[in-house]
Amino acid sequence: MNAVTAEAAAPVANPGASRISGTPLVEMRDICIAFGGIRAVDGVSVDLYPGEVVGLLGHNGAGKSTLIKILAGAYKPDAGEIRINGEKAEIANPRDAKRYGIETIYQTLALADNVDAAANLFLGRELRTAWGTLDDVAMEAATREVMGRLNPNFRKFKEPVRGLSGGQRQSVAIARAIHFNARILIMDEPTAALGPQETAQVAELIKQLKAEGIGIFLISHDIHDVFDLADRVSVMKNGKLVGTARTSDVTKDEVLGMIILGKSPPGAAAGPGASV
Partner 1 sequence: MTDTTTATPATPASTPAPSSRPQGGAPSAPTSFFGALEIDMRFMGMLGALAVIWIVFDVLAGGTFLTARNLWNLSVQSSSIAVMSTGMVLVIVMRHIDLSVGSILGVTGMAMAVFQVGTLMPAFGFNHPAVFVLTLALGIGLGAAIGALHGFVIAYLGVPAFIVTLGGLLVWRGAAWAVAEGKTIPLVDDNFKLLGGGANGSIGAEWSWIIAAIACIAIAVAAVQARRQRQRFHFPLKPMWAEFVTVAAGCAAVVAATLIVNAYTLPPVLARRYAEAAGLDVPPEGISISFGFAVPVLVAVAVGIVMTFVTTRTRFGRYVFAIGGNPEAADLAGINTKRITLAVFALMGALAAIGAAISTARLNSATNAQGTLDELYVIAAAVIGGTSLSGGSGTIAGAMVGALVMQSLQSGMVLMRVDTPYQNIVVGIVLVFAVWIDTVYRKRFK
- Contact residues toward partner 1 (CB under 8 A) are 1, 3-4, 6-7, 72-74, 93-95, 98, 104, 106, 108-115, 119, 123-126, 128, 132-134, 137-138, 140-141, 144-145, 147-149, 151-155, 157, 160, 162-163, 167-168, 171, 194, 197-198, 200-201, 204, 207-208, 210-212
What burial letters (b/e) apply to 197-218, b meaning 16+ CB within 10 Å?
A: ebbbbbbebbbebbeeebbbbb
- Closest approach of partner 1 to the CB of residue 40, in Å: 17
Shortest distance in whole angstroms from residue 29 CB to partner 1: 24
Say which amino acid occupies 26. Answer: V
Q: Is 266 helix (H, G, I), strand (E, B) or coil?
A: coil
Comparing CB distances to partner 1, the nearer of 137 and 260 is: 137
Closest to partner 1 by CB, 86 or 195: 195
Closest CA to 229 of 209, 245, 207: 207
Dist CA 46 CA 33 (whole Å): 15
Q: How far is the CB of 10 from partner 1 (least distance, A)?
A: 11
| CA gap 199, 217 in Å, rounded | 17
Name the strands in the sheet holding 240-246, side by side, starting at the edge strand that comes first in the sequence.
102-105, 184-188, 215-220, 53-57, 232-237, 240-246, 268-270
Between CA 16 and CA 177 the distance in angstroms is 26
Tell me how far, at minimum, the Cβ of 178 lies from partner 1, in Å.
Answer: 10
Compute the least distance from the CB of residue 145 to partner 1, in Å.
Answer: 5
Closer to partner 1 by CB, 54 or 202: give it.
Answer: 202
CB of 181 to partner 1, least distance (A): 12
Q: Is 63 exposed, middle or buried (0-12, 13-18, 19+ CB in 10 A)?
A: buried
